[in-house]
Structure 1
Amino acid sequence: MSRIGALTRAARGSATQTLAKGSKSLHPPLAPADFKRALTINDRYGGLTVNVPKMPFWLTGGEALVYRRTSHGEQQFMQVDAATGFKRPAFDQARLAAALNKVSHESYQAGNLPFDRFELSEDGRRLDFQIEDTRWSCDLASYDCTSTTFDARKGDPRELSHRYTPPAENNPDKSNASPDGKWIAYIKNCNVFLRSEDGLQDVPLSRDGAEGNCYVFSTLSWSPDSRHLAAYLVRPGYRREVRYLNSSTDQLEREYSTIFYPRPGDVLPLPQPVLFDIAGPRQIVIDDALFSNVFELSALRWWADSRGFTFEYNQRGHQLYRLVEVDAATGHGRSLIDETSETFVDYLPLGHGQEDAGKIFRFDVDDGKEIIWASERDGYEHLYLFNGRTGALENQITRGEWVVRRVNHVDPVKRQIWFEASGMNPQEDPYWVHAYRIGFDGKGLTALTPEPANHHIEFSPDRRYYVDLWSRIDLPPRMALYRASDNAKLQQIETADISELVAAGWQPPLSFHSKGRDGKTDIWGVLHLPANFDPTKKYPVVENIYAGPHGSFVPKSFSRWTEPLTQLGFVVAQIDGMGTNNRSRAFHDVAWKNLKDAGFPDRILWHKAAAAQYPWYDISNVGIFGASAGGQSAVSALLFHPDFYKVAVAKNGCYDNRIDKTWWNELWMGWPVGIEYSQSSAVDNAHRLQGKLMIAVGEMDDNVDPFCSFQLADRLIKAGKDFDMVYVPGANHHTLGTYTERKLLDFFVRNILGQTPPDWNTKPIELE
């Protein structure tokens, strides 16, 4: 805050003098060199940091941790022996890159290998890693590499509902052996069969499978005692497809492709758990009364004593999430834990990403005698201890007006939990994550990361050590190794150096917060300041928006990333308004059936508060841009808040939630599809457009159907509205490229600064 205060005092002290001179020339003409700097600034800054570590991971065994650090634009894998502290390069990256290029016919660079994690064999002689859908294994003596391809969709039980329907199976060569080795289960003609170990017996377990209702091999699950087998029988849903035409090819012919793309309201695949008694053999019917309206069923998980199995039921509409137990002897099901909500249950796994976080977590203690469960039932994300036999709540483990963000480790012997949380320290940014330890009984809460910053810890597999990586937007990363038993610091592994970056003109964003629409809740954001910032001048404001309810998005950790618009004299703001994640439940619920809100009432108040505090913050002609859900919000700014937002650029946006993917939209907008979808639709509200709008869309976007963008364009045309549109051949959701970035810069320069951008055709700017 001291830096903000200093800027404020400087600005206020000079504002009167500036205005007294009557100067109106606040935006000197931009030159082509300014645009070149804007388009290349991040490439230039990328080579000016030293020893910046990325997220660490531990090798199997727990004796060594690995991380990737960046120095002068080159990335290097480093390995640290936890016991001795010895640090060295993990392997010869130049030899590995050469070996990969030889067999893959690619051109990988040693300083930018295309994977983030790897595994070493126990003898340390083989390196295994994954590049897209290919698994690689390389001998570290000869650097000979071999590869195998795989289907990343297979084996994911969540794929059995809304995302993917397995084809009818008829492959007896794919088999699943019982734990005692006496039987082999396989699928033939969509039914479950058993083959004896000696191959003399071949027994059909089911007869109800058919191409329209097929057993799925990847779900076959044996009880530990080999007496029972469970599986999912899946009835396919409606197979909606999106067809693509790629006009950016190396041939003289266009290319066509198709993807499976269910939408909100579509009939979904219906998985049904089925139980088989091997001794009979017989099929035991499981009543589906507890899970009759399926959006998603999790993997089947057997208790170690084989008394039954469990699965998690996500009801369509996302207002009920239930832990179901099925008794192996009777097939009787019962609910152990019910998580309910009048709005939505955020069913993504807790700690899904460092910024994106769902709310579901489960840990079975002593074969299910107790269950640790995450819930927002008191208004904040916390941990609870349930009796796994009766389903009764034993006690709430964590409590308070703060949120659990991640569970790092559960120690059932010491009955302790290591977890990460944010918002516990009132004097700090409520999004900063810290690490803690607490007992199952809710006692002994211990803070482990005292530094005021955003932290992330990773435990070694044997739980003897953990590494803490922390930074702030104004402080480069630090990484240290600790002993878990007493939290003693063993080694400072890395301290990033950004002196060259700062000397080149880089400056961190400014943190700012103000009260939201309720007059009580703090709304947090950052300001990216213009190049050569002078607090005696005024600067136009453009907001970079992303308001997806699945996470919070304002940066909290260090990044050298510089908003290109700042190089052209703009202040760029980022704000987490109400409706985003990682605060209270009430804060989050604003998004329900109301994605058009996007936190705009909070964002506008935030901008006005910033303008009141900083005389250089000019909100007379505010711009806004965003991509994907941010694209939807950018358009909504002009449709629903044209009195404040005047210029918008929307990239690959989801402008009508009925057109986009099922899971994301039904989670926040509800099911069945109701009038709220139309109320939040930019397509249905296109006639409201005021201000200046540019739409950019990638031809091959397989995340958000490009149809969304064309539907919006069609309605704008029919409503007689004027707008710009950029269509990028061959581009997908994340690759709109430098051309689109240049068009974005041009659009804001023309419509906010009132200046004419360079003539790119007559005098092209070399960006290399």
Structure 2
Amino acid sequence: MGVSFLSDSSMYSRDSLWGNSMLSITLFALLSTITHIWAQGSSSDYKRANNLKEQFRNQIFQLEITPNWSADNQHFWYLKQLASDRYQFVKVSIQSQSKGLAFNHKKLATKLTNATGQSIEPDRLPITNLVFTDRPDIWRFNFQGKLWELDTKTDNLRIANIVDITPIKLGSTIRPSYQTGVEISVTFRNETNRPIHLFWLDGQGDQKLYSTLEIGEVHQQHTYTGHIWLIIDEIGQKFGVYEASLQEPLVTIQEERLHEKKQSEKITKKDLPSNGVFSPDGTKLAFIKEHNLWIRKDNGQVQQLSQDGNKVEAYDQTRIHWAPNSQKLISFKVQQAQEHLVHLIESSPSDQIQPKLHSFQYLKPGDKIAKPHPCVFNIEKGQQLQIESRLFPNPWSLSHVRWHQDSTTCYFLYNQRGHQVLRLIAVDSDTGQTDAVFNELSPSFIDYSQKMYLNWLNDNELIWMSERSGWNHLYLYDVTNRRIKHQITTGKWAVRKVEHVDKNTRQIWFQANGDAFTEDKNLPTTSDPYYVHYGRIDLSGENLVWLTKDDGTHQVQWSPNRCFFVDSWSRVDQPFIHQLRCSENGNLILDLEKSDWTKLRNLGWSVPQRFSSLGRDGKTNIYGLLWRPTNFDKQKRYPVVEHIYAGPHDAFVPKKFQVHYHQQEMAELGFIVVQIDGMGTNWRSKHFHNYCWQNLKDAGFPDRISWIRSAASEYPEIDLTRIGVYGGSAGGQNTLSGMLHYGDFYHVGVADCGCHDNRMDKIWWNEAWMGWPIGSQYDDNSNVTHAKKLTGKLLLIVGELDRNVDPASTMQVVNALIQADKDFDLLIIPGVGHGAAGSTYGTRRQRDFFVRHLLDREPRVDSKEKISKNDEIN
């Protein structure tokens, strides 16, 4: 650019004076702009951005509390963090509604110092697994590999004798684990003369091997109350079943616990399964051998139940479900999916000169998937019964298997490929005939990955989750009569998650969020419909009680008996507040802790700004955040950079308080960074969500653009003439889609590891939103199809070893751009997988690209250096 200075006096007419005045104004504006540019994207800005995380580390504490409850639910303890490496143990008493130090920290530190010869500080006590005992004054904890006991009345400290701890008695009933529970640690001790195996039983009753204990070995296992652990020896004989509880957490496995069974001489170790499934009465073990279903009976006899399994259609070890009477079971023979290999070339392996080829199975939309078919087996009759498949002709999955207690009927849930049909199917175990308990249908999609919930209350009732009303709610079904009894929850809000169902009191605890929370004063007061609140309701749909009410998003931890809970709530602009509340009505019992952000703010930490505006329909509020540089100057104008991820499986704008955001690092270079949840993302109404259906290229852009323009009208520092966008994975697809379809608004984009054509990406995610069978909608939503529309500055980034999204998806876009003769930048990073832009080099290149093309300067150049080869003043 050039500026001419006029000096001829003959030019000093009125017009020329006006002309010179305009020249002066223009020059001033230009110099102001240059000063503005010098102040952004410099090496000092990069340094500040890179140091943000460390700068603000350990400047705010008590962002979380973990209550550790006593067996009687009347006390719990938690760690109060004083500094990064200093803390106190705090005990809370429910009855007295008080809190205080759990014990005398100074005295304990002195005693541990005297006992070990090590210097122990009172606010850095190195003890672990602190637990209440059945004596209120006695604490037990681990220290230096030993179990210790502290008597708080006498201040007596001693090493506990493990034999003094009463071992928990093992049960014999095998059942699935409960869904929720309190986090605990359990010690298993093997006192047998053989190795033993610990199997965890999941919520479906499936057995998963977690550990093998050698003779005499002591093993500490993390688990939750209500979880079920099956203990067997190496040849499959059962020692017992342990249900995790808050009692003394010691399980001793001894020889006398084993019900000795006479072994058949025909049984050899190689014949036995590595992971069979016991019948409920413990007398039979079902397992898969040579693709077929077998059982071993308690007399040692082995029997082959199926004959039709083979390599192509094999019975599945993880899909064996016994009937309650232990005389029948249902198993699934699975026709294998097609082979679809993705091949990646590792160009620069660390252990050799020549490149390596990596190949792996990776199904994509339209591929032939595994097809399960259930079979019922009658053990007594030695009968295999085929089940008619007319009600499940094209399964994406068959799941949620359950037997009626009388063993006459078995149920499973059919998810039809294309995800527009869910059907609960009842199977007559004597005839193989089927009928539908209910059908869940949708003209768009059923959000099965996020909003599927089925809970049997008894043989005749179940709770089901559905969006049929327009919002995600719970329904009570009458199984016997194949009908809905009634809708349990209602309103312009969505059930987010079922926390707990009490079958005795017939009550449900759940999480929820929704638009009604911003409109209805009878609901929890909230300024953002995405904030999560907790409620309880009777199965009748009556007596709805909201247990959390404060304006923020809530995280709740329940006492084991669910009479009390610790509520931790926050917002991006409100640090965590932790409170003890009553589960009956949500009333406050005791304020526990509050995060203090004074130090954080004094260091210049920038608070993200919440902002909402109306979306494309002129009536639905769209919510997002803005991040400004920590050296923000309201007199300057800043380019906007949108961080985008519009995956329909969730909503993504941060809601709870956190210290570090990668968006803040980008803002630090001289941008205002925004993040928005537009229509098509999850956890609003079904109508809101449906915008994504076979329409991923939309990505909520009309809402995003409207939001940014509204923000600019509110905040004049936003410069709408310079707008960028970046994202990875689905966000990479969104980024390029925005550049192609809204190139008049988005000027610069960085797309990382994008699934640019949904036919190239993983099968489950893409068929969930784009549907099946594959049709023209896939081509219309492909960035490859529309690559010729590119007008702005684009950087594509991909890791050569991306196993999440096939890197060929990016390269197909590259090919299309070349065919269209478009200019763009491409960065392929060797040896890196998914999220290559998050690598150190990828992050730097992404930032540089925005600095060059939105700030119009060379990045990482100090302010006194020339800003660009084109930015001379003549």
Shorter-chain-normalised TM-score: which range?
0.7 to 0.9
Where relative contact order (Cα < 8 A, 6+ residues apart) is larger, the structure is 1
The code of the aligned residue for 2:316 comes to V
Match of 1:111 in 2: none
1:517-554 deviations in Å (ceiling 9; x for gaps): 11111111111122222323211111000100001111
- 599-608 vs 403-412, greater mean Cα deviation: 403-412
1-structure distance, mates of 2:393, 2:736? 38
> Unpaired segments of 5 or more residues in structure 2?
1-24, 103-124, 130-140, 146-181, 191-197, 201-207, 223-269, 520-526, 866-874
Q: Does 1:653 align with 2:754?
A: yes
2-structure distance, mates of 1:673, 1:328? 36
* RMSD of aligned alpha carbons: 3.6
Inter-CA distance 78–680: structure 2 relative to 1 (3 Å threshold): farther
Inter-CA distance 252–527: structure 2 relative to 1 (3 Å threshold): same
1-structure distance, mates of 2:144, 2:56? 28
- 747-756 vs 531-540, greater mean Cα deviation: 531-540
Match of 2:106 in 1: none
> Unpaired segments of 5 or more residues in structure 1?
1-17, 100-116, 148-168, 349-357, 764-768
Match of 2:379 in 1: 278
1:378-419 deviations in Å (ceiling 9; x for gaps): 111111111121221111111111111111111222222111
Q: Does 1:363 align with 2:465?
A: no
2-structure distance, mates of 1:437, 1:713? 53
Match of 2:476 in 1: 385
Inter-CA distance 483–170: structure 2 relative to 1 (3 Å threshold): farther
Inter-CA distance 249–281: structure 2 relative to 1 (3 Å threshold): same
Match of 1:523 in 2: 622
- Post-superposition shift, 1:202? 2.7
Inter-CA distance 69–544: structure 2 relative to 1 (3 Å threshold): farther
2-structure distance, mates of 1:442, 1:545? 39
TM-score, L = length of structure 2? 0.73
Tell me which structure has the larger Cα radius of gyration: 2
Match of 2:712 in 1: 611
2-structure distance, mates of 1:297, 1:90? 49
Superposition pairs for residues 72-87 of structure 1, below 5 Å? Answer: none
Q: Tell me, yes or no, if the aligned pair for 2:188 and 2:219 is still in contact at 8 Å.
A: no
Q: Does 1:47 align with 2:87?
A: no
Q: Does 1:28 align with 2:128?
A: no
2-structure distance, mates of 1:604, 1:20? 33
Match of 1:151 in 2: none
Q: Tell me, yes or no, if the aligned pair for 1:265 and 1:672 is still in contact at 8 Å.
A: yes
1:398 to 481, 485, 489: 489
1-structure distance, mates of 2:345, 2:64? 41
2-structure distance, mates of 1:646, 1:451? 40
Q: Tell me, yes or no, if the aligned pair for 1:64 and 1:79 is still in contact at 8 Å.
A: no
Q: Tell me, yes or no, if the aligned pair for 1:48 and 1:71 is still in contact at 8 Å.
A: no
2:314 to 204, 207, 214: 214
Q: Does 1:638 align with 2:739?
A: yes
Q: Does 1:462 align with 2:561?
A: yes
Partner-residue secondary structure (3-state), 1:429: coil
1:402-438 deviations in Å (ceiling 9; x for gaps): 1111111112222221111112322521111111111
2:465 to 351, 370, 374: 374
Q: Tell me, yes or no, if the aligned pair for 1:53 and 1:69 is still in contact at 8 Å.
A: no
Match of 1:426 in 2: 518
- 631-640 vs 698-707, greater mean Cα deviation: 698-707
Q: Tell me, yes or no, if the aligned pair for 1:77 and 1:90 is still in contact at 8 Å.
A: no
2-structure distance, mates of 1:274, 1:549? 36
1:671 to 769, 772, 794: 772
1-structure distance, mates of 2:78, 2:769? 36
Q: Tell me, yes or no, if the aligned pair for 1:370 and 1:386 is still in contact at 8 Å.
A: yes
1-structure distance, mates of 2:456, 2:601? 49
The size of the alignment, in residue pairs, is 689
- Post-superposition shift, 1:288? 1.0
Partner-residue secondary structure (3-state), 1:560: coil
The code of the aligned residue for 1:342 comes to P
- Post-superposition shift, 1:146? 10
Superposition pairs for residues 1-20 of structure 1, below 5 Å? Answer: none
Partner-residue secondary structure (3-state), 1:741: helix
Inter-CA distance 45–137: structure 2 relative to 1 (3 Å threshold): farther
1:30-58 deviations in Å (ceiling 9; x for gaps): 43111111122123222322221178798
Q: Does 1:584 align with 2:685?
A: yes
1:716-747 deviations in Å (ceiling 9; x for gaps): 12221111122222222246412111111111
Q: Tell me, yes or no, if the aligned pair for 1:49 and 1:71 is still in contact at 8 Å.
A: no
Partner-residue secondary structure (3-state), 1:749: helix
Match of 1:236 in 2: 336
- Post-superposition shift, 1:19? 12
2-structure distance, mates of 1:80, 1:581? 40
Match of 1:334 in 2: 435
Match of 2:842 in 1: 740
- Post-superposition shift, 1:79? 8.7
TM-score, L = length of structure 1? 0.83
Q: Tell me, yes or no, if the aligned pair for 1:750 and 1:757 is still in contact at 8 Å.
A: yes
Match of 1:120 in 2: 185
- Post-superposition shift, 1:75? 10
Inter-CA distance 662–60: structure 2 relative to 1 (3 Å threshold): farther
Q: Tell me, yes or no, if the aligned pair for 2:189 and 2:219 is still in contact at 8 Å.
A: no
- 296-305 vs 219-228, greater mean Cα deviation: 296-305
Inter-CA distance 471–250: structure 2 relative to 1 (3 Å threshold): same
2-structure distance, mates of 1:551, 1:442? 27
The code of the aligned residue for 1:470 comes to W
Inter-CA distance 276–118: structure 2 relative to 1 (3 Å threshold): same
Match of 1:494 in 2: 593
2-structure distance, mates of 1:569, 1:544? 15
Match of 1:755 in 2: 857
1-structure distance, mates of 2:846, 2:80? 32
Partner-residue secondary structure (3-state), 2:363: coil
2-structure distance, mates of 1:656, 1:244? 18
1:244-289 deviations in Å (ceiling 9; x for gaps): 3334543224444332210000000001111111110101221111
2-structure distance, mates of 1:405, 1:513? 22
Inter-CA distance 59–544: structure 2 relative to 1 (3 Å threshold): farther
Inter-CA distance 91–215: structure 2 relative to 1 (3 Å threshold): farther
